[in-house]
Amino acid sequence: MALDQQRARLSHSAWQVSGSLVLTGEEASFKGVKPKAAFDPVAGDWGALELVGRYGELDIDQQAFDGGFADPVKSASAASAWGLGLNWYLNRHAKLVFDYDETAFVGGGGSKAAPADRPTERVVLSRVQLSY
């Protein structure tokens, strides 16, 4: 069978768990957090603060590499990732987001003669989000 017609049934797996805690006591929902009081430092109001976190793993079926569908020097066979963040709700319409994420890999680096793990990725992100 030609390589372009090769087939296999692969079984990859992944999972993730995430959670949050509103440090200022407001209720969290899928619509976000509504601060009890909007950001007003003169009045001593700071909006709402939410601590967020997640952890997850990915595992690629070894047959993907053994069957030639993926190159073990270019593609990781597994990854685990975690992240922490702080969401600052200034009011109902403005949110500042600060996140740190880190992903560690198994495979995906080095050379054919000396395979290695891809370097761990670390990223710091921030975002200003407006909604009306």
pLDDT at 121: 98
Nearest CA to 95 among 40, 41, 50, 29?
Answer: 50
In whole angstroms, give the CA distance from residue 86 to residue 46: 14
Greatest pairwise CA separation for the chain in angstroms: 74
pLDDT at 131: 86
Q: Is residue 4 classed exposed, middle or buried when 0-12, 13-18 and 19+ CB atoms within 10 A define those classes?
A: exposed
pLDDT at 2: 54
pLDDT at 3: 56
Mean pLDDT by 10 residues, the chain (132 residues): 73 97 92 92 95 98 92 94 97 96 95 92 97 80
In whole angstroms, give the CA distance from residue 103 to residue 117: 12
pLDDT at 4: 65
Nearest CA to 76 among 116, 111, 104, 105?
Answer: 105
